[in-house]
Chains A and B, each alone.
Chain A
Amino acid sequence: QLQLQESGPGLVKPSETLSLTCSVSGGSISSGYYYWGWVRQPPGKGLEYIGSISYSGRTYYNPSLKTRVTISSDTSKNQFSLKLTSVTAADTAVYYCARLISGGRFDPWGQGTLVTVSS
C-alpha cells in the first residue's frame, strides 16, 4: 500500500526558505504514469495546488507561486521535495504531498505537516 510522509521544519522565519521532503513507501516514484505533487491549506482556508513533478523529472507550478517554488526528486531515496523561497506569514499552512494520477486524481495523500512562518 502506497504511503507518503511529509517532513521538515515546522517553523520558518520570514524571508527565509521553506524546505519540505515527502518520503514515499510501498511504491517507486520513478514508476511511469504517476506524478507527485504538493498542495497546501492555510489554517481555516481551502486547498491550493503548489506544483508537481513527473516520474521523468518534469515540473509544473502554480503560476501564482512559480517564481518562488522549486520541486525536485531523488529517486535513490524515493523522495521528492519542495522549496519555497522568500516566505511570509501568508505561506503559513498545512503542506500535503500526494501522488497525482493522470487526469487530476490526488491519491493517496500524506498526513500533512504544519509550517508556520514567524520570527
Chain B
Amino acid sequence: QSALTQPASVSGSPGQSITISCTGTSSDVGAYKYVSWYQQHPGKAPKVMIYEVTNRPSGVSDRFSGSKSGNTASLTISGLQAEDEADYYCSSYTTSTTYVFGTGTKVTVL
C-alpha cells in the first residue's frame, strides 16, 4: 500500500486559515468515512485532531476542521496560532483491513 499524498509544507500568518490536503485512492480515502488527522510536535507522540473525516475529539480546538471529497481529504486550521506549528499526518482505513498514513505536512506559522 502506498502512503497517502500530502504537501510537504504549508505556511500561514497568525490569524489566517490554511488547508492541508490528503490524496489517496478509491481503496482507502475514497472507500470509507475513516480518515483521521494527527498533529505531531518535535520529539512528541502524535495526537489525534480529527477522526472519521469531520469529528473532533474532546479537548481539540474548534479551529480544526476536516472534510472529504472523493479520494481527497482535507484539514483546515482557522485562526492560525503559533502553537499550531507542527507536523500533520492524515491516515485512512483501507479495503485491505489495514491503515495507511500520509506523507506528512510541516505547518509553519510565519
Contact = CB atoms under 8 A, between A and B. Distances in A.
A37 B98 CA distance: 11
Interface stretch (B10-18, B45-53, B74-82): B45-53
B15 to A, nearest CB: 29
A32 interface: no
Given A47-B101, A47-B104, A48-B101, A103 B45 contact: no
Q: Specify the main secondary structure of chain A where it touches its partner.
A: strand
Interface residues of B, number: 27
Contacts of A111: 45
Nearest to B57: A107
Interface of B: 1, 3, 33-36, 38, 45-48, 51-52, 57, 89, 91-93, 96-104
Given A39-B101, A104-B35, 17 more contacts: A39-B46, A49-B99, A60-B97, A63-B1, A96-B46, A100-B99, A103-B34, A104-B36, A104-B52, A104-B92, A105-B57, A106-B48, A106-B91, A107-B47, A109-B45, A110-B45, A111-B45
Interface of A: 37, 39, 46-49, 51-52, 60-64, 96, 100-101, 103-107, 109-112
